[in-house]
Amino acid sequence: MEGIPLSAQFVVLAVLLGCSAFFSITETAMMAANRHRLRHLASQGDRGAKLALDLLGRTDKMLGVVLLGNNLINAAAATLVSVITIELFGEEKWALSIGTLLVTFAILVFAEITPKILGASHADRLARILAYVIWPLLRTAYPVVWFVNLFVDGLLWLLRLKPKAGGENSRLSAEELRSLVLESSSFIPQQHRSILLNLFELEQLTVADIMTPRGEIEAIDIAAPIESIKAQLATSFHTRVAVFEDDPANIVGIMHQRRLLAEAFAGEIDHSTLRERMSEPYFIPAATPIYTQLQFFRENRQRMGLVVDEYGEIEGLVTLEDIIEELVGKFTTRQSDVAGSLSWNDDGLVLVDGAATLRELNRMLNLEFPLDGPRTLNGLIVEHLQDIPEVGVGLRVGGVAMEIVQTQDRKIKMVRLHRPAGE
């Protein structure tokens, strides 16, 4: 570069490093940009976001023009440094070696690492700005980029690494979406975040996971004396009550107490009236997913169903409110809500009803009871011991030490749990 002042050569070198930094920051910002946020901004009319999405939709072309420019400029910078070194020190080998080290250091610091850190830190904002520059560059250099990509596509085809069309890599799985919700604590209130997380669990839960067990179902015996039935209806906490005849397993209908108001005021309730006001029971297979059952409730205009196993035996009862509470949290004051306010005391102990579900205990006490077997604490203990234990028996299940405090009617009534070490 004879005739060009040395100072001008340094200016050209600085410009080359600046251009290399531009391509480096563009590459990192475009690839690190949040495509979902860009789509949201594009839907609101942001032109920069639209251009960025268009470029990301043709990643091979966009990377082609960026890397083409970056490599050409880096090669030119290295050549210019060699020329400057020769002019300053002659063609000495040690001088050329030092020049190579200096240009490598300058490119790393000023044209690679620093710009890429900035691009990764402000990717969403920079991608929308830099897209305005990359788009015309791509149109200008398109023939060269197209020619280079012919060889790139051929190599990817030979290696069986040809990417699928349609942006498959930008799609998120359910677990990835769940992780995004968990990480959004500064944007989504805790209550809203809990509801969203519960939505992800709907497909994994069945009605058997949230049902009221058969032993806790409030039901009336239609064959009992009418005065006994009236007394039970008068003290019932529910608007709908299951009706059986002689055997609690023989459910013959569902009684809606509001339908009895007129007869109750007139004092005309008898067995025939009760049978006339009963509706047909609605049965649900125990393996039905919660979300599917929610749709069935809506389609069949039902609010309550009896859960049956594969043999048709009644296992429990589930209501529309049970499913809603699974989404938004407990909002009723039912006796069956045994785990609603559980917490460890200062000694690391908590007293739990044996009917408490393992899912609730895991959630409230941050435990890890297995969920692939029994659903209640009583069932877990009985399965573990293969027997109904006596009061005072101690055991450890799922890493949790526990002690039987009370048993009743072949069931474990109360259990004292000890907080696991490290919790």
For every residue of 119-180, DSSP letters joined together read HHHTHHHHHHHHHHHHHHHHHHSHHHHHHHHHHHHHHHHHTT-PPPSS-GGG---HHHHHHH
For CA atoms 54, 55, 56, 57, the dihedral sign is positive
Q: Tell me the pTM.
A: 0.57
Render pLDDT for 53-111 as a digit per residue (tens, 0 to 9): 999 888 888 999 999 999 999 888 888 888 888 777 777 777 778 878 888 888 889 88
What residues are paired with 396 via a beta bridge? 401
Domains of the chain (ranges, CATH numbers): 6-170 (no CATH), 174-203 (no CATH), 206-328 (3.10.580.10), 349-418 (3.30.465.10)
Output the CA–CA distances (angstroms, integers) from residue 315 to 139, 324, 326, in the order listed: 68, 20, 19
Could you tell me the pLDDT band of residue 226, with boundaries at 50, 70 and 90? confident
Q: Return the structure tokens found at 213.
A: 């067990």
CA–CA dist 403, 391 (Å, integer): 8
Render pLDDT for 106-164 as a digit per residue (tens, 0 to 9): 888 988 999 999 999 999 999 999 999 999 999 898 898 888 888 888 888 888 877 76
Render pLDDT for 171-212 as a digit per residue (tens, 0 to 9): 666 666 767 776 666 667 777 777 777 777 777 788 888 888
